[in-house]
A and B are shown apart, each in its own frame.
Chain A
């Protein structure tokens, strides 16, 4: 505060369908010294609708294009590195997170070759196995590390062509919203990434039970994960957990493998 200028204080909002709305409930929480929107069930529903709408276009984009868009996300993150550093443990974590986005961006057009296969079969057929995105994925963001932990789950899900809803961590939501601002200025289409802040205990069960969510990443879930899995079982959601730090298999866990039989012609 110099020269008597009023501070422009930021209100942290949700990120749904490429826009930054407040919670329809009007509720906020005070977290990390800021007022942060406290999303309601309805906000979660709107986020799923936005993700479903975006999924078609994003999954149909060419792998090459998805890779470029993800690289663009790394660029916009780089320009906001200062803001990210303030929302997590510092520059080092930011650098790790950005490098991770670049690393996964490179995988976009290599997935089919590594995860897919041409299978030998006893008949006059070509038999291919091809990875396809699962659909709408809910990600419960890990609490620590606030930024890199989230990026480690987001990047592999998005690079494969899924549309995601991030449920930010209760304790460190700012990293998730800062990330949303980087996403908004990148070329990631609106709705491909959505961010909800609020109470995980309130929102996680809603997303786990939602019939239009195809997979849920419970890496960041605390408390009763089994209860979430029971809810997820209703529509046989894919339940995903992180296994490795960086790996194409992390992408694979958000993909479905489809097998195609094609007659060998002459």
Chain B
């Protein structure tokens, strides 16, 4: 698996023969280990450290049909300074929006260090012709997106047309230019952990900067075992090629406690090198509020209420 393997374009072979070590995932063991790591108790200073890290790694996301420039502007203010009453709470890593809202986000975030990520490639289904997807990416980059979150064509993947999926990622990566590319696998649609691992390796082989669990548009999005499978794929690629690929978990991570469980797993699987916004992200919207409530609880000693934190 050194570098991106030379894959026969448009040539439908079983993936096994082109990507070594896809192997099979032991479902019971993965779920057991994920559950085991989730039990770890993180308290006091370590908890505060982990919560602040989770905020720094957060892609504050709004992907709704009802998004307006006004809502995005409000979200950007929150991204820069999550807690208006406490300047010590760090900024999030990025804002994640639909392409049309990139200019609004760009304007508000100028000079803040918070990046603008945009979904593209016919998000969330990815069921559109390649030309449309590439144009989507080019437009998003032209409007100033620093990061592109693309979706793979699950229909192609599940019907065994891996080369199509691979080629699309390669072309999207080219269209991205300097923008970072995150490849969304949508694990809940892939069906098996074997497929999750296969798709992870495929995306990394196609030069993805990040691999990402989910669009957040489906129920049962990110799960701890799915992240573990993906992290182990990242680790295998790193051990073989020395290349560090990032991980983004998104969808359904709403409680500070869950975020810490995801971070623990990253630390245990990939080590402290990955505990940075450059290599790990959590895509979330309501998570930030829960973290802010926990941080203020650690500071004041009193349990907090949603009533005193902004909705978006």
Q: B-contacting residues of A (Cβ < 8 Å)? A: 44-45, 48, 206, 209-212, 231, 234-235
Q: In the complex, what distance in Å separates the CA atom of A206 from the CA atom of B303? A: 8
Query: Does B11 interact with chain A (Cβ within 8 Å)?
Result: no
Q: In the complex, what distance in Å separates the CA atom of A211 from the CA atom of B305? A: 5
A212 contact set on B, CB distance < 8 A:
303-307
Query: Does B65 interact with chain A (Cβ within 8 Å)?
Result: no
Q: Which 6 A-B pairs have the closest CB atoms?
A: A212-B305, A209-B302, A211-B305, A210-B303, A211-B304, A45-B303
In the complex, the chain A residue whose C-beta lies closest to that of B303 is A210
Q: Would A211 and B301 count as touching, CB distance under 8 A? A: no
A48 contact set on B, CB distance < 8 A:
303
Q: In the complex, what distance in Å separates the CA atom of A211 from the CA atom of B304? A: 5
In the complex, the chain B residue whose C-beta lies closest to that of A44 is B303
Q: In the complex, what distance in Å separates the CA atom of A130 from the CA atom of B30? A: 56
B301 contact set on A, CB distance < 8 A:
209
Distance in Å: Cβ of B74 to nearest Cβ of chain A: 22
B307 contact set on A, CB distance < 8 A:
211-212, 235
A44 contact set on B, CB distance < 8 A:
303
Q: Would B302 and A234 count as touching, CB distance under 8 A? A: yes
A210 contact set on B, CB distance < 8 A:
302-303, 305
Distance in Å: Cβ of A208 to nearest Cβ of chain B: 9
A206 contact set on B, CB distance < 8 A:
303
A209 contact set on B, CB distance < 8 A:
301-303
Query: Can you list 26 A-B pairs with a CB-CB distance of less than 8 A?
Result: A44-B303, A45-B303, A48-B303, A206-B303, A209-B301, A209-B302, A209-B303, A210-B302, A210-B303, A210-B305, A211-B302, A211-B303, A211-B304, A211-B305, A211-B307, A211-B308, A212-B303, A212-B304, A212-B305, A212-B306, A212-B307, A231-B302, A234-B302, A235-B305, A235-B307, A235-B308
Q: In the complex, what distance in Å separates the CA atom of A206 from the CA atom of B301? A: 9
A234 contact set on B, CB distance < 8 A:
302
- Extra contacts besides A44-B303, A212-B303, A231-B302 (5): CB < 8 Å: A210-B302, A211-B304, A211-B307, A212-B304, A212-B307
B303 contact set on A, CB distance < 8 A:
44-45, 48, 206, 209-212
In the complex, the chain A residue whose C-beta lies closest to that of B308 is A211
Distance in Å: Cβ of A230 to nearest Cβ of chain B: 12
A235 contact set on B, CB distance < 8 A:
305, 307-308
Q: In the complex, what distance in Å separates the CA atom of A162 from the CA atom of B306? A: 18
The CB with the most chain A CB atoms within 10 A, among B301, B302, B304, B306, is that of: B302
Which residues B295-312 have CB closer than 8 A to chain A?
A: 301-308
Distance in Å: Cβ of A202 to nearest Cβ of chain B: 14
Q: In the complex, what distance in Å separates the CA atom of A212 from the CA atom of B304? A: 6
Distance in Å: Cβ of A55 to nearest Cβ of chain B: 12
Q: In the complex, what distance in Å separates the CA atom of A251 from the CA atom of B114? A: 51
Q: In the complex, what distance in Å separates the CA atom of A235 from the CA atom of B301? A: 14
Q: In the complex, what distance in Å separates the CA atom of A223 from the CA atom of B118? A: 58
Q: In the complex, what distance in Å separates the CA atom of A231 from the CA atom of B303? A: 12
Q: In the complex, what distance in Å separates the CA atom of A44 from the CA atom of B302? A: 12
Distance in Å: Cβ of B307 to nearest Cβ of chain A: 7
In the complex, the chain B residue whose C-beta lies closest to that of A42 is B303
Q: In the complex, what distance in Å separates the CA atom of A234 from the CA atom of B307? A: 13
B305 contact set on A, CB distance < 8 A:
210-212, 235
Q: In the complex, what distance in Å separates the CA atom of A210 from the CA atom of B305? A: 8
Which residues B269-312 have CB closer than 8 A to chain A?
A: 301-308
Q: In the complex, what distance in Å separates the CA atom of A235 from the CA atom of B302? A: 11
Q: In the complex, what distance in Å separates the CA atom of A45 from the CA atom of B303? A: 7
Q: In the complex, what distance in Å separates the CA atom of A99 from the CA atom of B304? A: 38
B308 contact set on A, CB distance < 8 A:
211, 235
Q: In the complex, what distance in Å separates the CA atom of A48 from the CA atom of B303? A: 10
Q: In the complex, what distance in Å separates the CA atom of A206 from the CA atom of B304? A: 11
Q: In the complex, what distance in Å separates the CA atom of A81 from the CA atom of B39? A: 43
Distance in Å: Cβ of A205 to nearest Cβ of chain B: 9
In the complex, the chain A residue whose C-beta lies closest to that of B302 is A209
Chain B 178-217, CB-CB to A under 8 Å as 1, else 0, gives: 0000000000000000000000000000000000000000
Q: In the complex, what distance in Å separates the CA atom of A45 from the CA atom of B304? A: 10
Q: In the complex, what distance in Å separates the CA atom of A35 from the CA atom of B308? A: 39
B306 contact set on A, CB distance < 8 A:
212
In the complex, the chain B residue whose C-beta lies closest to that of A48 is B303
Distance in Å: Cβ of A167 to nearest Cβ of chain B: 15
Q: In the complex, what distance in Å separates the CA atom of A234 from the CA atom of B302? A: 10
Distance in Å: Cβ of A28 to nearest Cβ of chain B: 21
Distance in Å: Cβ of A215 to nearest Cβ of chain B: 13
Q: In the complex, what distance in Å separates the CA atom of A44 from the CA atom of B297? A: 14
Q: In the complex, what distance in Å separates the CA atom of A107 from the CA atom of B303? A: 33
B304 contact set on A, CB distance < 8 A:
211-212
A231 contact set on B, CB distance < 8 A:
302
B302 contact set on A, CB distance < 8 A:
209-211, 231, 234
In the complex, the chain A residue whose C-beta lies closest to that of B306 is A212
In the complex, the chain A residue whose C-beta lies closest to that of B301 is A209
In the complex, the chain A residue whose C-beta lies closest to that of B296 is A211
A45 contact set on B, CB distance < 8 A:
303
Q: In the complex, what distance in Å separates the CA atom of A206 from the CA atom of B297? A: 12
Q: In the complex, what distance in Å separates the CA atom of A212 from the CA atom of B290? A: 13
Distance in Å: Cβ of A32 to nearest Cβ of chain B: 30
